[in-house]
Amino acid sequence: MKILHTSDWHLGRSLYGRKRDEEFDSFLSWLTETIQQEQVDVLLVAGDIFDTTTPTNRAQALYYQFLCRVAASSCRHVIVIAGNHDSPSFLNAPKELLRVLNVHVIGSSTENCKDEVLLLQRQDGSPELIVCAVPYLRDRDLRVAEAGESIDDKERKLLEGIRAHYTEVGVLAEQKRKSLSIDIPIIAMGHLFTAGGQTVDGDGTRPLYVGSLAQVTSTIFPECIDYLALGHLHGHQKVNDSEVMRYSGSPLPMGFGEAKQKKSVCLITFSGRKASVVQIKIPTFQRLARIQGNWDEIFAQILELSATQEKIWLEVIYDGEEIMTDLRKRLEEAVSETEMELLRVRNNQIIDRVLNRIHDETLDDLNVNDVFERCLDQHEIVDKQRPKLLRAYQEIVMSLHEKKTQEK
């Protein structure tokens, strides 16, 4: 039996204003082909299918079109759980219809944990796998708020609630396995942050619980589990260095901090209850690159990247000592004859100057024009544009003063 584990698609996500629907479409087409080539029997999607609780029409279309394609493939079952970015009610709405396609959706935790323990069967009706499909457990699912409780009390209750939930579904799964005439594997799914998990700057990974990271240890997961399929962290990684407890990671780099990550999905092959896992590399559908340094270093890196003749989205971080108020203009000229596109420019030299100046000043030291000039500096507005912006700003300030005078 072959199982494919993926998560954190974040369909509908954009990057500094650039829509990424083409990338998502390419990934889902690749995933469909991989499922067919590898003759995958079960697909696990461990949360954060969409980037927001109100996905765009295009994001929804990508999701449902993919499920229809998978239903026509060798894959017999698809298990989808909600992540912290997903709307439980939105995911659950078509669950009865999707079940006809053998797509099992668990959008939220219910009072009866039996709803999360799924027995999957072969085409002949014989049992082949038990899946504990635990969705992202929200604060209200785990604890009852009490007046006067401390942050430590809150965190303790959250961790105890997560442990208790997995213990209960584990007991139910083990009972179900013992009631069968065959010793089949048990897989658990989850969307959470385990202790020691690795994130990178700008990957969009949110803290899961207000006032607490609630990072759980691997000991909360029942021993009966033969493979643990997790979502939430965007880089592929093992939990406590275990071969059979893993985050698959996101299929696309969610931000420039992930630009150098090798994205993959996990292919699990079971022989009896023994699991062996391999990573299948996901192609790069849109290359991202972060370059940083002084002007000479940045320009050299642009020349090096341009030689590849690839379409690349760039983030540039300038931290040279020379003051460069025309940085963006220079960069746009440098990439004008290439396939590269500037998505983000950060001038640390200007920002540091502004922050240092603000640190030494108070609002009492500044007039309204001074505040606006600080804003122009921080946003790297070129000298040519400043007079027009300053005039418009002064007109707005004057009209506000006149309105205030008339009201008096």
376 and 245 both lie in a single domain: no
Model confidence over 321-349: pLDDT tens digits? 888 888 899 999 999 989 999 999 988 87
Domain boundary among 259, 281, 303: 281
Model confidence over 365-381: pLDDT tens digits? 567 777 788 788 777 78
**Beta-bridge partner residues of 189:** 133, 229
CB-CB contact of 30 with 71 (8 Å)? no
298: containing domain: 287-407
What dihedral do alpha carbons 384, 357, 375, 288 form, nearest 10°?
90
- Give me the number of domains the chain comprises: 2
C-alpha span between 205 and 85 (Å, rounded): 10
For residue 354, the domain's CATH number is: 3.30.160.720
Highest average pLDDT, of 17-26, 204-213, 373-382, comes from: 17-26
172 and 316 both lie in a single domain: no
267 and 327 both lie in a single domain: no
218 and 349 both lie in a single domain: no
pLDDT value of residue 198: 72
Higher pLDDT, 283 or 139: 283
Confidence of residue 201 (pLDDT cuts 50, 70, 90): low
Higher pLDDT, 398 or 321: 321
Mean pLDDT of the 284-308 span: 94
223 and 333 both lie in a single domain: no
pLDDT value of residue 353: 53
372 token code pair: 């606006």
pLDDT value of residue 209: 46
271 and 292 both lie in a single domain: no
> Could you give the C-alpha distances from 105 to 65, 69, 71, 238, 363, in angstroms and in order?
16, 17, 14, 25, 54
363 and 380 both lie in a single domain: yes
C-alpha span between 13 and 253 (Å, rounded): 11
Confidence of residue 214 (pLDDT cuts 50, 70, 90): low
Q: At what angle do helices 368-378 and 348-360 cross, to 10 degrees?
A: 150
Domain boundary among 248, 281, 314: 281
97 and 205 both lie in a single domain: yes
C-alpha span between 164 and 159 (Å, rounded): 9
195 three-class SS:
coil
Which of 42-56, 84-98, 390-404 has the lowest average pLDDT? Answer: 390-404
For residue 232, the domain's CATH number is: 3.60.21.10
C-alpha span between 110 and 107 (Å, rounded): 9
241 and 213 both lie in a single domain: yes
Model confidence over 108-159: pLDDT tens digits? 988 889 999 999 999 888 999 999 999 999 877 776 666 666 767 777 788 8
Which of 158-172, 204-218, 286-300 has the lowest average pLDDT? Answer: 204-218
Mean pLDDT (the chain) is 86
> Could you give the C-alpha distances from 390 to 271, 386, 394, 400, in angstroms and in order?
71, 6, 6, 15
4 token code pair: 């494919």
297 token code pair: 């270093």
Task: Count the helices and strands in the chain (H runs, E runs).
Answer: 11, 17
CB-CB contact of 162 with 220 (8 Å)? yes
CB-CB contact of 81 with 135 (8 Å)? yes
310 and 270 both lie in a single domain: no
Question: Strand runs (DSSP E) across 151-192, as ranges?
Answer: 186-191
Q: Give phi and psi for 205, each to the nearest 5.
A: -75, 120
Which of 6-15, 149-158, 177-186, 194-203 has the lowest average pLDDT? Answer: 194-203
252 and 311 both lie in a single domain: no
pLDDT value of residue 212: 43
pTM above 0.85, yes or no: no
Domain boundary among 265, 281, 297: 281
Other C-beta atoms lying within 10 Å of the C-beta of residue 254: 23
pLDDT value of residue 140: 76
CB-CB contact of 7 with 83 (8 Å)? yes
311 and 275 both lie in a single domain: no
Mean pLDDT of the 258-272 span: 94
C-alpha span between 319 and 177 (Å, rounded): 59
pLDDT > 90: percent of the chain = 61
395 three-class SS:
helix
Task: Look at residue 291 and tell me whether its pLDDT is greater than 60.
Answer: yes
pLDDT value of residue 210: 40
Radius of gyration (Cα) for the chain, nearest Å? 26
